[in-house]
């Protein structure tokens, strides 16, 4: 049977459309493969957040379960401030909070290097401020007969603004927790229970009748990781 010229043209046009669709689909798949490649080829990457006396490190792109060496260095790379080793998870991420916080009192700009398979070394920089500090005071100077007898006053500075902290009062041998308080650091990094001009420290209660050495420990909660402590020879 002969095909009319009109039908023949329709069939040819249909074949061209099918061929063009196949070419476009193949091109789209190739484009997807090309677009996905850079994310895989980028290798290890890290982000760092500096704070008072510590650096929070997050990252990925490592081999599964790879051992990663993380270092904090001075800006000219002449001195290593802290070094830790961690293990990437099964998809190559640092999935637990990783902190560099043994910086020896250093403040200022730092470089952080993370070295692990498949390489190359990942770099990032941040700023570190002074580490937190706390002071504790008791009524022992007043022979334990003053208006604040039986308590220990605690205040601090250089914490992460807005961080939640736990304050614990312990016996001198650290065997007994006598009191625990939770607090939020003010916008200026201070640990105080009332803002100026009505400034006031936090007060923790001693076990009734206790007189002797004590320790005060302040822990920051995630995403921060500082622990700061002080002690008193005698509290009552």
In tens, the pLDDT along 170-218 reads 999 999 999 999 999 998 889 998 766 678 899 999 998 899 999 999 9
**Rounded-to-integer distance, Cα 204 and Cα 154, Å:** 8
Query: Tell me, what's the pLDDT at 224?
Result: 67
Query: Tell me, what's the pLDDT at 223?
Result: 61
Half-sphere exposure at residue 141, Cβ-oriented, CA atoms within 13 angstroms? 5
- Sign of the dihedral through C-alpha 81, 155, 220, 168: positive
Query: Tell me, what's the pLDDT at 40?
Result: 34
Residues contacting residue 60 through CB under 8 Å, at least 6 positions apart: 44, 45, 88, 91, 92, 93, 94
Mean pLDDT of the region 228-232 = 91
Query: Tell me, what's the pLDDT at 27?
Result: 46
Could you tell me where the beta strands, DSSP code E, fall in the chain?
Answer: 45-51, 54-60, 67-73, 80-87, 98-100, 108-115, 122-128, 133-138, 151-157, 164-171, 177-184, 202-205, 212-220, 227-235
Percent of the chain whose pLDDT exceeds 70: 79
Mean pLDDT of the chain: 81
pLDDT band per the 50, 70, 90 thresholds, residue 222: low
Query: Tell me, what's the pLDDT at 87?
Result: 96
Query: Tell me, what's the pLDDT at 34?
Result: 35
Q: Which long-range contacts (CB under 8 A, 24 or more apart) does 25-31 make?
A: none
* pTM reported for the whole predicted model: 0.63
Query: Tell me, what's the pLDDT at 196?
Result: 64
Query: Tell me, what's the pLDDT at 82?
Result: 96
Q: Which of 19-28, 47-56, 111-120, 156-165 has the highest mean pLDDT?
A: 111-120
For residue 19, the 8-state DSSP code is: H
pLDDT per residue as tens digits for the range 93-103: 998 889 998 99
pLDDT per residue as tens digits for the range 120-172: 999 999 999 888 899 999 877 667 777 888 899 999 998 888 889 999 999 99
Query: Tell me, what's the pLDDT at 135?
Result: 93
């Amino acid at each position: 049977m002969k095909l009319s010229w009109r039908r023949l043209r329709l069939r040819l046009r249909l074949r061209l459309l099918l061929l063009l669709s196949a070419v476009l689909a193949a091109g789209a798949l190739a484009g997807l493969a090309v677009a996905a490649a850079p994310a895989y080829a980028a290798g290890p990457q890290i982000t760092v957040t500096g704070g008072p006396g510590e650096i929070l490190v997050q990252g990925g792109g490592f081999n599964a379960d790879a051992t990663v060496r993380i270092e904090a260095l001075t800006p000219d790379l002449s001195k290593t401030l802290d070094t830790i080793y961690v293990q990437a998870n099964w998809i190559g991420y640092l999935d637990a909070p990783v902190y560099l916080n043994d910086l020896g009192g250093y403040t200022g700009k730092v470089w952080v290097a993370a070295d692990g398979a498949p390489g190359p070394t990942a770099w990032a920089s941040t700023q570190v401020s002074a580490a937190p500090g706390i002071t504790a005071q008791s009524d022992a100077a007043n022979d334990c007969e003053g208006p604040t007898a039986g308590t220990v006053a605690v205040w601090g500075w250089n914490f992460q603004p807005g961080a939640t902290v736990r304050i614990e009062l312990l016996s001198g041998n650290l065997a007994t927790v006598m009191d625990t308080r939770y607090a939020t650091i003010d916008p200026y990094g201070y640990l105080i229970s009332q803002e100026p001009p009505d400034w006031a420290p936090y007060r923790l209660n001693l076990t009734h009748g206790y007189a002797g050495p004590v320790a005060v420990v302040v822990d920051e909660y995630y995403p921060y990781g500082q622990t700061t402590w002080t002690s008193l020879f005698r509290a009552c």
